[in-house]
Amino acid sequence: MTANAQSDIIRFSNVSKRFGTLTVLQDFDFTVAPGEKVSLIGPSGSGKTTVLRILMTLEPFQDGTLELGGIGYHEPGGHGPFKASERHLRQIRTQVGMVFQSFNLFPHMTVLRNVVEAPIAVLGLKREEAECRALDLLGMVGMADKKDHFPSQLSGGQQQRVAIARALAMRPRVLLFDEPTSALDPQLVGEVLGVIRSLASEHDLTMLLVTHEMRFAREVSDRVCFFDKGRIVEQGEPERIFSNPEQARTREFLQSVL
Ligand SMILES: Nc1ncnc2c1ncn2[C@@H]1O[C@H](COP(=O)(O)OP(=O)(O)OP(=O)(O)O)[C@@H](O)[C@H]1O
């Protein structure tokens, strides 16, 4: 699937992002089509997570424009680091879900409460409706029988599956994964990848995945983007990128990790 100007759900145009004097993204252009599954791969520190954090409104950016479903992140005349009001950012956030490396579940809440809180507080769902939605999702990730457990009573893989259910409970249009398996013991990686793999078959859900799991990126993505020093050096269908990269930097990187 290729993105085009009419139908892009994500559109970065000339975006620059600096942390103090460190420029992480410079004139960054990147688009994603609705339903597309895109993996971002590349060396540590190249800016992949920053792209996700900007999309999730966890980081402001300095120059350029970013749109989600045609809505700009900056408001005309907007102030503050985000150049937008909190209300505007909240509207954007309801369309994006993020699954973090470290799960980020609320430790004092049960599994079920972790999944129902945001739909009730942010979307205004009635508790009964939110619980019904949560139980469906917990069933999908194989965690319904643990609904009354606390995060500390779960393995890392189980916590991550709950985190995925929690992100999905908001019915986001775009789901971001930031190295979702890198904090897990090797024997727990497969169960989380299995859940993400089945989500990747959902045609409506746009997925952006930062991962060091190259075989997985090859298997689930429509497109793989190789990042280096805040730029996409090369992108294309996984089969081509992994079996026949055109750029020397991509080849070098893949040789170092495969
Ligand atoms: N809050 C911050 N303050 C200062 N510098 C930051 C901050 N967050 C990230 N950086 C720097 O920005 C650069 C890009 O970081 P980022 O986490 O996006 O890279 P990455 O490609 O995701 O790396 P990794 O694969 O190791 O997660 C790095 O040099 C990092 O040290």
Q: How far is the C-alpha of 106 from the C-alpha of 115, rounded, in Å? A: 10
Closest by CA to 145, choosing from 157, 158, 127, 156, is: 158
ipTM score of complex? 0.97
Task: Indicate whether residue 46 lines ligand 1 (CB < 6 A).
Answer: yes
pLDDT tens digit string along 27-52?
999 999 999 999 999 999 999 999 99
Q: What share of the chain is helix, strand, coil (3-state, %, to 5)?
A: 40, 25, 40
| Structure confidence by residue, pLDDT tens digits, 136-188 | 999 999 999 999 999 999 999 999 999 999 999 999 999 999 999 999 999 99
| 73 CA from centroid of ligand 1 (Å) | 21
What does the pLDDT look like over 223-234, one tens digit per residue? 999 999 999 999
**What is the pTM (predicted TM-score) of this model?**
0.94
- Residue 48 Cβ < 6 Å to ligand 1: yes
Q: How far apart are CA 187 and CA 47, in angstroms?
A: 28
Q: Is 231 in the pocket of ligand 1 (CB under 6 A)?
A: no
